[in-house]
Structure 1
Amino acid sequence: SEYTRLALAKAAYDRLFTWIVQQINAAIAAGSAHRGSLIGVLDIYGFEIFDTNSCEQFCINYCNEKLQQLFIELVMRQEQEEYAREGIQWTPVEYFNNRVICELVDAPHKGLVAVMDEACLNPTKISEEQLVEAFDERLGSHPHYTSQQLAPADKTLAHRRDFRITHYAADVTYSIVGFTDKNKDSLWQDLKRLLRSSTNKSLSDMWPEDAEDIQKTSKRPATAATLFRGSMAALVAGQASKEPFYVRCVKPNPAQTPRAWDERLVRRQVAYLGLVENVRLRRAGFAQRTRYDRFLRRYKMLSQYTWPNFRGGVERDAVAVLLRDSRVTDVQFGHTKLFIRSARTIHALEAARAELIPSIVVLLQKLWRGTLALQRYRKMRAALTIYNAWKRYKFRRYITELQTELRRGSGTVMRWPAAPRGVAVPLLQAAYRRWRAWLVLRAVPREQWPQLRLKVCAASALRGRRSQWGASRVWAGDYLALDTYNPRAAVYRSALSTLLRGGGRALFSCRVHKFNRHNKMAERCLLLTDTALYKLDASTFKPLKKPTPVTEVGCVRVMSGSAQLVVLAVPSARNDLVLALSPPASSQDLVGELVGTLAHAYHRLSGSDLAVEVESGATTRCMLGGKSRALQLPAAPAPGLPTFTSAHDVITYHPPAAHA
């Protein structure tokens, strides 16, 4: 009970600390547009060597061993392997690889952590003296492990209490006292479920284990060393996937006083941080390595033989010609990259490039300005030709006849007179239509023209055939993005940005009640984009199945009354979309807006008009599951939400009273 109480307090502190960190990270998290430009900082204190070193110092020093191993892998080993892989003449720099020390600690079944877990999870109680004996038995032959039993002559080690690990930094003697208790975690799953059921929401959110099956409550929790080892594995994996930059800090004196320099302490830190080998590697290495294609693209203007393009062979030959022409010698040619030894050479190449860039910019500006001048000249010649043709007599006569017709019709050409040969009658008629359209549209604000275009498409299909189609109201289009219509508009906008990441935009969206081939009604969301129709989940707004291309819509069937019922026929799928639209208010109509938007998108993609059928009665038809079925409206409206009923092959849509 005492162990369980202490484990509960320790776990609560740990979860509270982790919860605070998560809240801070969520508050300062960068947006998705900046995920690729983040900088993370990992601050590690370093090795801890005290008079008495326990389990805490063991974990901290193991962390430093793993990070030193990562430093060796990323900086020392990979750089030298790249030289060997590229065939560069290189004298290898010797360095100590501490992989053997890491394996001493975290090797499966035989490392120190594995032996500690066996002792802590053993049904019978094992004393800490027996744990040291287990260490000696398993790891007695390891060169970096020793104890008093393995080295009887070493009197600095207490018998059956101390053991020593030769870390890459220094030898550290650990006392086994307290190792077993600190490694155990007596917090069982039932206690985690208890804390999950707390009425304090913050405390409850810290314990998500209630999702576990009840049969798992008897499972032993992982030990502290195992959890720490897993955390270190995740940390190393995350660091290995990033581009690291190291800042090595050296403590000048143990007293933390100014102007005090402990040379012995500094030398030891420089040695165990691997700084000597790193400096030796950097001094003997190369300042820059670049692929041949990138180097050629950046510096090809420095040689007349490579500018604007090299025609003598592969990119490596072009780079060799460029360097020979620039008199650069301190380089080596790898199989795929060019290695430049001195940073002074790189600065010289950049300075020469910067000097030539202005002249290249002037050349490009000259060519582009000449192209623009030529285009303007051609337009002037074309305008002059049109002007000369316009002055001809027959054309003047035709224009006079048109003016007479305009005066007779009070600005309207009732009959176009016969045109002389050579007169661009379609051009004049197009200009006349634009002028007439301007007379009509000049009273309409410019920003309303796109919506007016959609209303014209809807009017051509529904005017005179349907009682209401929303001509008098403003069309919002993407209703799901409106907070007044959709309480989860923020979730929808996030899902929409993910869905349309490849391009496109939302033209129309709303909530619908969909009737499927299984005679079931489901609440869905309809989304119309530039190219396709999407059926979305009503809560997560994620696409259901594959979208339907706009060009595959055969026709649209609607009723002549005010019922918000739409049938989108899809002949290729043999399964029509039977939808009941949910407008933002009971007095509004969304059928006309959907028909106009869909017809405009269909004409833009296919070049032809979308077929729209308006049923004057109370019955229409649809295709569900490859079978033609009748779709009708009831004789009297029903209060409440819209519903569908099915009897035999007849489907009845019951609209709300406001849309009946």
Structure 2
Amino acid sequence: MIMGLNAHLSPTDKSLEFDRDFRIRHYAGDVVYSVVGFIDKNKDTLFQDFKRLLYNSSNPVLKGMWPEGKLSITEVTKRPLTAATLFKNSMISLVENLACKEPYYVRCIKPNDVKSPLLFEQERCRHQVEYLGLLENVRVRRAGFAYRQTYPRFLQRYKMISEFTWPNHDLPSDKDAVKRLMQGCGFDHDVAYGKTKVFIRTPRTLFSLEDQRAEMVQRIVLFLQKVWRGTIARMRYRRMKAALTILRAYRRYKVKSYIRDVNKRFKNVKSMKDYGRRLKWPTPPKVLRKFEESLRSIYNRWWAWTLIKGLSPEEALQVRAKVASLEALKGQRADLGLQRAWEGNYLKRDSPDTAPSFTLVSSELQRKDKFMRVLFSCNVRKINRFHKAEDRAVLITDRHLYKMDPLKQYKPMKSIPLYNVTGVSVSPGKDQLVVFHTKDSRDLIVCLQGMVPANESRIGELVGTLLSHFKRRRAEKGLRRASCNDSPCAPHAGSSITAEH
């Protein structure tokens, strides 16, 4: 035994601490032991009768070494447990504990001796694998069945591989489902079926099952993602549809409320004095803003028609002329004379002393030129091409424009057919400058004067009357604005209304 022990001891190893450490070479590797505390760790307890014997010795040294022996036999009756008994009891308890459990043996491989997580010593690991018997265990396992598992757990892991077991099978038992799965995969020759477990012989079959499972898991994950995204999209669509339904109902309610409010406010406008002109329109919703503009336009047309239908033909003609004047000169002149009645023929009223002469001349011109009515007449101050001013009178009928001399009993000095008049330019100031443009470019430039009352604005009436006349004859096709040339009577820019016919 000593010779065998010497073969496993290394007394000449310089890496050991002198007089403290020693190493024993086991089959699995070398183990270093230390003698420090070795006796205390392996010390056993002496019986009480042995301590009493040494205490009763006649040698005072021995008696002093065992003071525990002075206790009588009646005081200490129980023997203490020895180290061997304690070890035996511990082993019995361990075996009983293991017997009531299902053991799983785990082999721990130590990668290196310096306890580093990044260091792998191949020779060290190979040595441990060899002496732990792992290679032999693998050979034994491969000689039989390398994998064994219960049917429920096997189905839970691999049931997505076969269409007969996914998602749940309708076979009589899990064993039949596993058989159907393995037959479908073509591994029936490499499998054995027990009462509660399935046994697979080669790892190649298990690896193939794992590969198929990994592929199917990826498809299942994609399918679940698709289903979930579709569910989220449908939920979002339902919420949007519900919101649109609520919004549509709310808009319908706002539209109906607005129409009811308008109908309630304008229900009795025919019996009102101003035909509802002073009524306040309700605020429309955004969706009805254009409709509200159209509705206001319809109401304004109805209101204007209601006012015009009760007028006489002369009053209606005057209203049309005022409208034409407002459309042409709005924003160009401050006073258009819209608040007063338009008479048209002002020479009789402005010059009552010479009214008989004017009446006689106008009658003669009517007989000669056969015009129907007088559109406008007024005293003017005429500016010739030499910028010389002279007092004249202007008579405009539905056929001609006459320039007359009031000092010679309104003798006609010039007659211009209205179809030769291409446009009328007026100034924006208070001077009431008017330029009649003709086809032969021999424009007639005059300033209206001699009004009664003084400073009465007649530019708007002149322009509106001419425009209304051309509209009635359907000769006017457009309006354009131009500039009036500087003159002694109007040294500033003006506006031009062109009637094309």
TM-score (norm 2): 0.37
Whichever of the two has the greater Rg, that structure is 2
The two structures have a TM-score, normalised by structure 1, of 0.28
